[in-house]
């Protein structure tokens, strides 16, 4: 998933905003105690997500895939006054940890956790959505796009993580596994949808940012 020299990555981090102390603690605990810590957004991507959120100033934001809550806390930094972020995950073991860090960040009044499949939760969420971040099971990315796009506000953004998938998206179509094929399909859906402006950013494992016209 690392496409640039680690020294350049460190240089980028050094010239980006400082992550809050609670995020440093969360990142350290994730790496120490949680399986697959590479799923953590991390400093640079986290600052990028926080910046996008601060530019959009969402009133209603949705995150599909909470993991340990790092990206949710980053996205919540940019919420408009009275705004709310709904984060969705089915992991049975991590909610206590996520709640603890949401409380530490002073964001219990801004972040609501949901512990059901996202395609069941999304129809019940208050809309329209100003910002959506997709970072869950890759095979459902196309379905998540179809679920959220009709509920987006004009000018809202949809961000999808892992769209480069460690470079696997460049393999021939016949060689793609289910997850990679779904990511390729998702990117093509965004590219071909006349309702969306888009830019793919090779940050970490790739972010596809789409804006509703």
Q: Domains plus CATH for the chain?
A: 6-212 (3.40.50.150)
pLDDT at site 2: 67
In DSSP notation, 59-86 reads SEEEEE--TTSHHHHHHHTTPPTT-EEE
- Could you tell me where the DSSP H helices lie in the chain? 6-14, 21-33, 42-56, 70-76, 95-104, 118-121, 141-148, 178-192
> What is the per-residue pLDDT across 132-172, written as a single tens digit (0 to 9) for each?
999 999 999 999 999 999 999 999 999 999 999 999 999 99
Region for residue 57 given its phi and psi (left: phi exceeds 0; alpha: psi -120 to 50; beta: otherwise)? left
∠ Cα 159 69 10 (to 5°)? 70
pLDDT in tens, 71-125: 999 999 999 999 999 999 999 889 999 999 999 999 999 999 999 999 999 999 9
C-alpha distance across the termini of the chain, in Å: 31
């Amino acid at each position: 998933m690392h496409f640039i020299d680690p020294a350049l990555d460190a240089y980028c981090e050094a010239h980006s905003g400082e992550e809050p102390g609670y995020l440093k603690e969360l990142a350290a605990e994730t790496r120490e105690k949680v399986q697959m810590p590479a799923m953590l957004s991390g400093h640079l991507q986290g600052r990028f997500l926080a910046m996008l959120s601060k530019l959009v100033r969402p009133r209603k934001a949705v995150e599909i895939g909470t993991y340990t809550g790092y990206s949710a806390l980053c996205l919540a930094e940019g919420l408009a006054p009275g705004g709310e972020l709904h984060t969705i995950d089915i992991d049975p073991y991590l909610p206590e940890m996520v709640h603890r860090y949401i409380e530490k960040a002073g964001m219990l009044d801004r972040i609501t956790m949901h512990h059901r499949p996202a395609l069941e939760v999304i129809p019940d969420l208050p809309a329209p959505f100003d910002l959506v971040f997709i970072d869950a099971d890759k095979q459902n990315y196309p379905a998540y796009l179809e679920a959220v796009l009709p509920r987006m506000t004009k000018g809202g953004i949809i961000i999808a993580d892992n769209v480069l998938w460690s470079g696997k998206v460049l393999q021939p179509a016949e060689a793609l596994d289910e997850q990679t094929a779904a990511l390729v399909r998702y990117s093509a859906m965004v590219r071909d949808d006349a309702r969306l402006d888009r830019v793919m950013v090779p940050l970490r494992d790739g972010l596809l940012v789409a804006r509703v016209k």
